[in-house]
Structure 1
Amino acid sequence: MPSNVPDFRTLLRETKKSAVHLEMRDQYSVADEADQFAAWQAGHRYTLESRAEWWHPFHDFVVETIGRGVTIRRARIVSEPVTEYIRYEHSHTFTNIAAGEQIRWLPRSRAFDLALPGADFWLFDSRIVRFNLFTGDGEWADPRNVLTEEPAIVDLCTRAFEAVWERATPHEDFKV
């Protein structure tokens, strides 16, 4: 990654009020999830009681960030019926919620009339957008991602996220 492009942790560490994340893929195949996904497919499930097994430094970072007064919201647009990957993701979303994130789900059939950017993104303090680019198979396409403060793009992402959030169902009420 070029030295002038801050990494995700730096961006979140510098966030003062809010970070929002919009996920729009039905399948991710990132290497760092492969073992957990395979275990889930074999029947393994996380529980609140097995916190030592699933609590990671990312969760600590979220707790620390929220402790500074930052709100973290995540919305996921999914096709129905959901893919096996989305069932896996849904089954352990409680881990993100335990760290303090707010998470909602929106069926793609209820998002067809929304203006959405062409890639997943994080939006920090409604001023910086970091797009997450993936290959068709769901692997990271560009480890640097794409970062912008262009007002028109920030506005598109802000409006898109808020429109999705307004329509989406809170995690505890969304059934897969």
Structure 2
Amino acid sequence: MVSEPLHDYARYEYDLTFANLAAGEQVRWLPRREATGLLLPANDFWVFEDELLLVHHFTGEGQLAKDGREYITDAVLAEQHSEAFEAAWQRAVPHVQYHPA
């Protein structure tokens, strides 16, 4: 999810995404104005094996906090996070179609 116009760091990420695409990653961009109505988790996360949730906690400066990795084994919570991701993914624009101002 990105704010528009893109700030410098998001623009940097956008400009380097070609390498991710070349490696086979799928990348989409979701402008915040398109996220209204989505119920999204407050923290960055990864879901593993449908039951392990890895939550990242960042400082106010955008750095991973000293104790910034929280592992939670909870299939229901993992499913909720997966469903939120899928809803955002469906609204997001594939990288090749996204042209930030």
TM-score by length of 1: 0.53
**Of 67, 80, 99, which aligns to 1:156?**
80
Task: Give matches, 1:65-84, under 5 Å.
Answer: 77-84=1-8
Q: Which runs of 5+ in 1 are unaligned?
A: 1-76
Q: Which runs of 5+ in 2 are unaligned?
A: none
Q: Specify the structure having the higher radius of gyration (Cα).
A: 1
Task: Give matches, 1:41-120, under 5 Å.
Answer: 77-120=1-44
Matched, 1:125 2:39: no
Q: After superposition, give the CA deviation of every residue in 1:110-133 in whole Å (9 maximum; x if it has no partner).
A: 112111111011122333221121
Q: Distance in 2 between matches of 1:171 and 1:140?
A: 26
TM-score by length of 2: 0.89
Q: Distance in 1 between matches of 2:19 and 2:52?
A: 26
Task: State, as a whole percentage, how many aligned pairs show the same letter.
Answer: 43
Say if 1:130 and 1:146, in contact at 8 Å, map to a contact too. yes
Instruction: Give the Å deviation of 1:154.
Output: 0.5
2:83 partner amino acid: R
The match for 1:171 is: 95
Name the structure with the higher strand share. Answer: 2
| Secondary structure at the counterpart of residue 132 of structure 1 | strand
| Secondary structure at the counterpart of residue 141 of structure 1 | strand
- State the Cα RMSD in Å: 1.4
Q: Which runs of 4+ in 1 moved over 3 A?
A: none
1:100 partner amino acid: G
Pairs aligned (count): 100
Say if 2:28 and 2:93, in contact at 8 Å, map to a contact too. yes
